[in-house]
Amino acid sequence: MAVGQCNFPDMLDVPGIMLGTACAGIKQTVKDDILVIQMAEQSTCAAVFTQNAFCAAPVHVAKANLTHEPRWLLINSGNANAGTGEQGMQDALLTCAELARIVGGGAKQVLPFSTGVIGQPLPVAKIKAVLPEAIRNLSLNNWDKAARAIMTTDTFPKGISKVITIAGRSITINGISKGAGMIQPNMATMLGFIATDAKINQALLQICLTLAVEQSFNRITVDGDTSTNDACVVMASGCSTAPEITAGSEHYAIFADALMSVCKQLAEAIVRDGEGATKLMRIVVKEALHDEEAVRVGKTIAHSPLVKTAFFASDPNWGRILAAVGRSGVESMILENVQIFLDDVCIVRNGGRADDYTEEAGQRVMDRDEITVTVKLGRGKASQEVLTCDFSYDYVKINAEYRT
């Protein structure tokens, strides 16, 4: 189940970036579960990774290989290769080496990524067997197949394609992502792969990505769990005829804004596809002392099981939101200054229920599929938004049956 219209868009080609998929039968045999992405030789690549201390073997390898001018990404779904110890490391290295052998590159030029069940050995033989097929299938226009190959409990493939103009020349930015559960922003709790034909050096691309992730994937949560595997990668092929993007330039601002937009749209798609989700909630915190305070309040509300289940029930139980704000750790909060709204309906004012609030008005908002909760702290000028979804019966069912 997903909230709102979630059709996969028409994706433009990104010159210099090719994608190929195949089915290794890792967890199922119905759809492709292997994705290979090939970058042009002059490409630059940046990435951010999960902060989970038990990060998966492919995360360790990808981090190390990122400094070796990567040319290929190797992604599998159905198995996380996490919690697999030294054998998991060797398995990740083996798959990289096999891909490199087939394409005639170096093993350290391959970045591996895995998603799926934790604690099970990676089926290396199955992956190696279909790598030639994935490479034969390399194409500029395989974005739909690529988005589907990386899915696990997702109910729809997630993608965005955007074109910007710099100095009269076009630059394309495409992105795909996967994620529906085990989503708690602590870097980028999902897998995301973004490609552009822009010319930009690696250090500047890394800065762009880090800033974009902070305001997008780090502002979403489904269930408060940070995965062992998650990563977000941006690849720049340099094949556009637009001038190189340099720090501090007008061109940089245009590119950075576009990358931010792509990341935000992918992040929102993940929340819309939250496991069992029936509602999308935007938690907007205003008048905080600083951004960190605003984010903390927003995440406290977004993580609350009581708040999330009330939204699933369409129950205007505003006291749960009030309680979450109160326990968010804001020091010296002046309760009389705090205002809380459901869309445009004020539910809390002057330290308690707003005098003009009615249950009927609250119910009208709670019956909607998309709802904005606005909290005005009355302390400063900082404002931040966190996206989340409700908790339904299906969330429990999906995760209770995840390994069956």
Cβ-in-10-Å burial (0-12, 13-18, 19+) of 400 comes to exposed
Q: Is 165 known to be catalytic?
A: no
| 362-367: Cβ within 8 A, 24+ apart | 362/316, 362/318, 363/314, 363/316, 365/316, 366/311, 366/314, 366/315, 366/316, 366/342, 367/314
H-helix or E-strand containing 305? helix 305-312
Whether 189 contacts 182, CB under 8 Å: yes
Q: Cβ–Cβ contacts within 10 Å for residue 126, how many?
A: 17
Selected catalytic residue, list 44, 95, 189, 278: 189
Q: DSSP string covering 113-165, please?
A: EEEEETTS---HHHHHHHHHHHHHT-BTT-HHHHHHHT-SS-SS-EEEEEEEE
In angstroms, rounded to a whole number, what is the distance separating the alpha carbons of residues 31 and 223?
A: 27
The torsion angles phi and psi of 154, rounded to 5 degrees, stand at -55, 145
In angstroms, rounded to a whole number, what is the distance separating the alpha carbons of residues 343 and 162?
A: 30
The torsion angles phi and psi of 220, rounded to 5 degrees, stand at -125, 155
| 101-109: Cβ within 8 A, 24+ apart | 102/131, 102/132, 102/135, 103/38, 103/71, 103/72, 103/135, 105/71, 105/72, 106/68, 108/64, 108/65, 108/68, 109/65, 109/68, 109/69, 109/70, 109/71, 109/72
Residues serving a catalytic function are 189
